[in-house]
Structure 1
Amino acid sequence: MQFLRRSLVGIFLLSVTLALFAWAGNTVRLAVQERMNAEPRSFPQRERVLSVNVVTVTPEVIAPELVVFGELDSANRLDVRALAGGTIMEVSPNFVDGGQVEAGELLVRIDPRDAQSARDRLIADLRDAEAEARDAERALTLAQDELAAAGEQATLRQQALTRQQDLSDRGVGTAAAIETAELSLSTARQAVLSRRQAEAQAQARLDQAATRLDRAQLNLADAERALQDTEITAPFAGTLADVTVSQGERVTPNESLGQLIQKDDLEVSFRLSTAQYSRLLGEDGSLINAPVTVALEAQGLTLMAEGQVTRESAVVGDGQTGRLLFAQIDATAALRPGDFVTVSVTEPPLRGVARVPATAVGANETVLVLGDENRLSEVDVEVLRRQGDDVLIRAPQAYGQQIVAERSPLLGQGIAVQPIDPNAAPVVPEAPEMIALEDERRARLIAFVEDSRMPPPVKTRIIGQLEQDEVPSNVVDDIEARMGS
């Protein structure tokens, strides 16, 4: 009997369990069918607004700068060479590497004895030539006097012949007398010819003496110059380099002794591409004297100098491109020939251009302009120059408007943004309104703050504000709002 009762209870519990499983399955089935048959719901999507930095496109007149590298050199450099050979007798104390010399200062003196001897011999030769010239001039004078005397004799003989002929015509003279007069005249004429020949010889002697005198003077001038060549002086003030000789050494003609560099007369050479070079041409196609700035940076120290372009190289050079330009720079005590410097060349100014960050211009040469409702639109621009992190653009349709300063793949045409202008004046928050509290209200607020769960530093700060004669209204409103909740 007990077994039967337990069996019936088990069957009953099993039936109830199966019924509950069936009811639960049916409930799930109905819920799934209802969900599948229900219309899909759409949730409203809020537009994503990105914050972007913006800049204002302002047209102005800007002179672009070309930044290249160049090398300094002295525009006035002289090779100090020995013009005469011999032993170096004297050397200036400043004739060393790095020595500073003044214009006209004696640098080196070579043994002048041979040159002095040669000059003295030529002085003696010059005196001989001068004496010969004087003798030849006196001989010419005598020959001219003798010629004049012979001419007078011939004239007298001619007169005697004429007189004898007149006498013979009147029947007084004789033929022998006429013949004697004719012989005398012929002798006189022969003497005149001899004197003429002597005069010509005296004139030739005088010419030879003058030539000999000129030659002696030229030789003496050469000897004087050779003697001067034994002393080497500085033609201008400068600094010495590559000095290779000392006192007592023997040098040969044209041997290099060192270099004299005028460090205050510097120029810089730099190479530009053909496109960059074309920007420095004037209306007539010639190179303009564009201003340049030379900078040498060394461990945080920047040495600078100003100058201007003066000339260009006549040839491009083997394996080179572009143009090699030279600029004369102002004197500076810090720069030296051979320094590798940064050269900034100022181009002619461009009108109606704007300077914007390079990140504002896309690869397709467009910018994103901020339009109505802070939505972006794409505008084409003309990129003229790149100046470091900025670019110079010409975009009349964007002048006076704000553009995105830093483009990203998330930005495009039609996207709404929140503009942030770094150059805008900061917004100064208004001072909070101050109110005076009644004692009862003040005590109630302080009690609420003391019983609250605020951090101790915050409690101290707020209680200090509440204990003042006037309290910010926003602080009072915030506490009372919490008290009401």
Structure 2
Amino acid sequence: MKSEGSLFRFTRMALAIALLSTVAACGKKPDAPVAPPPSEVAIITIAPELLSLSSELPGRLEATRIAEVRARAAGIVLKRNFVEGSDVKAGEVLFRIDPAQLQATFQSTQATLAKAEANLTQATLKAERYKPLVEANAVSKQDYDDAVALQKQGAADVAGAKASRQTASLNLGYATVSSPISGRIGRALVTEGALVGQGEATQLATVQQIDPIYVNLTQSSTDLLKLQQAMKSGQLQSVGKGQAKVTLVTEDGHTYPQSGKLLFSDLTVDPTTGSVSIRAEFPNPDHSLLPGMYVRARLEQAVNDKAITVPQQAVTRDMTGASVLIVDKDNKVVARPIKADNAQGDKWIVTEGLKTGDKVVVEGSQKIKPGAVVKAVAWNNPAAATSGATAPTSPTAPPVTAAAPASAASATSGAPADTTSKAK
């Protein structure tokens, strides 16, 4: 009985201790939850850049010189002396026309000249003999005057015969058809044995000089006026005379490796298209550019020395327009609407909404929303890290594919598509 009582008391004591522990645990306040650290985002700090503003314009290539090789003498084509599609030099013989008839005509004029010279010699001697005789009244004044007139007529006949011989010599030379310019010759339009030059100057071939080569461009007169107004207002600066560079993009999308230069801009507007004609010139040493090819040219037309750009991925667009996320001085995220209609490579040119010193979120925007506190770190541009390039700070920066800033012209085609519908 004694052991059973001891066991009972031990059990009651254990239950009491357990009950007290449970009550104490229920009365203890829970620990406060640990706040998560601020999300880390990559930012850029806005700073103005110096950018060249360009217009991307459609155009066609055209040879700088085009010579239609024509037969200037009538006859049968005896020989073609060139390879079709090859390069020829100025003065190089292209065709030979049968010179037999032309040679005979030339020899006839030589004979006529010799006869005229003989008659002139005879008339001159007669006039010289009559001169002292008329002074001595040995011959009449009329006979002397006739002798002098015959001398002058003989001199005129000689001059006419020389001119005829010169014409015949030229015609004989036309039997050898030479290239008037250096360039690339196309296919022959006649073959050996063809009769040419009968009543018309038959075209034999065409030679085109394609180094350098022209590109004829067209620009909307509206865009040109907006650009000029922006430069007059001081928003843009004009490119220095002779400094405007032109970059060519071929039909397959490749950029031509050599830069061109602007030659002129037309003074009149085409009433049917409302556009202005512009001509540029490009070196073409390997003849890879051919007349008639369709191209697009980026033409430097102005300079913006206070341009603001942001990476493409920093911009979101919705029905209300474009916007970016800004980190303010308290490290809080703020949504900022912007105006960015034109592009430079993988960047948007911002004309409204940002100022120098603003911190724009480039990476990490998917995990934050306006009002959130974040930890801002400098953005490491992967493209710059790969190529070692930096943001353009000089007029040699890549051209902007726009006719003018958004306040001066509308956006051009080919602008990069920016990020859409980022999480708020």
For the aligned pair, the TM-score class normalised by the smaller chain equals 0.5 to 0.7
How much has 1:218 moved relative to structure 2?
A: 1.4
**CA offset digits 1:276-330 (Å, max 9, x no partner):** 44548999x99954211223364x8654322101123465446222212111111
**CA offset digits 1:173-231 (Å, max 9, x no partner):** xxxxxxxxxxxxxxxxxx7xx32x33333332222222222221111111111111111
| Conserved 8 A contact 1:73-1:268 | yes
**Where do residues 189-200 of structure 1 align in structure 2 (5 Å cutoff)?**
194-195=140-141, 197-200=142-145
| Conserved 8 A contact 2:247-2:256 | no
The 1:377/1:134 distance shift into structure 2, 3 A limit, reads farther
Alignment equivalent of 1:147, drawn from 134, 137, 141: 134
| Conserved 8 A contact 2:363-2:379 | no
Structure 1 stretch 368-377 or stretch 72-81: which is displaced more? 368-377
CA–CA distance in structure 2, aligned partners of residues 291 and 301 of structure 1: 17
**Equivalent in the alignment of 2:358:** 401
**Equivalent in the alignment of 1:267:** 214
- 1:309 equivalent in alignment to 2:262: yes
Give structure 2 stretches of 5+ with no counterpart.
1-34, 233-237, 383-424
TM-score normalized by structure 1?
A: 0.59
- 1:67 equivalent in alignment to 2:56: yes
How much has 1:348 moved relative to structure 2?
A: 3.2
**Equivalent in the alignment of 1:291:** 245
User: How many aligned residue pairs are there?
Assistant: 333
- 1:348 equivalent in alignment to 2:302: yes
**CA offset digits 1:364-412 (Å, max 9, x no partner):** 6876543232345577877685435533345697102213559999999
CA–CA distance in structure 1, aligned partners of residues 126 and 239 of structure 2: 69
- 1:227 equivalent in alignment to 2:180: no
How much has 1:111 moved relative to structure 2?
A: 0.9
| Conserved 8 A contact 1:64-1:385 | no
CA–CA distance in structure 1, aligned partners of residues 277 and 67 of structure 2: 23
Hey, which of these two has a bigger chunk of strand by percent? 2
| Conserved 8 A contact 1:360-1:406 | no
Which structure is larger by alpha-carbon Rg, 1 or 2? 1
**CA offset digits 1:151-174 (Å, max 9, x no partner):** xx9xxxxxxxxxxxxxxxxxxxxx
**Equivalent in the alignment of 2:184:** 239
| Conserved 8 A contact 2:186-2:206 | yes
Equivalent pairs: percent with the same residue?
23
The 1:417/1:244 distance shift into structure 2, 3 A limit, reads farther
CA–CA distance in structure 1, aligned partners of residues 214 and 381 of structure 2: 46
| Conserved 8 A contact 2:40-2:364 | no
SS at match of 1:76: strand
The 1:236/1:353 distance shift into structure 2, 3 A limit, reads same
- 1:114 equivalent in alignment to 2:114: no
CA–CA distance in structure 2, aligned partners of residues 371 and 116 of structure 1: 94
The 1:261/1:226 distance shift into structure 2, 3 A limit, reads same
SS at match of 2:76: strand
CA RMSD of aligned residues (A): 3.9
The 1:121/1:391 distance shift into structure 2, 3 A limit, reads same
How much has 1:343 moved relative to structure 2?
A: 1.5
- 1:423 equivalent in alignment to 2:382: no
- 1:77 equivalent in alignment to 2:43: no
Give structure 1 stretches of 5+ with no counterpart.
1-45, 154-190, 427-485
The 1:410/1:324 distance shift into structure 2, 3 A limit, reads farther
**CA offset digits 1:333-354 (Å, max 9, x no partner):** 1322233223122233221222
Bigger relative CO (Cα 8 Å, ≥ 6 apart):
2
TM-score normalized by structure 2?
A: 0.66
CA–CA distance in structure 2, aligned partners of residues 423 and 83 of structure 1: 72
SS at match of 1:294: strand
| Conserved 8 A contact 2:322-2:338 | yes
SS at match of 1:80: strand
Alignment equivalent of 1:319, drawn from 259, 264, 272: 272
| Conserved 8 A contact 2:248-2:255 | no
**Equivalent in the alignment of 2:92:** 105
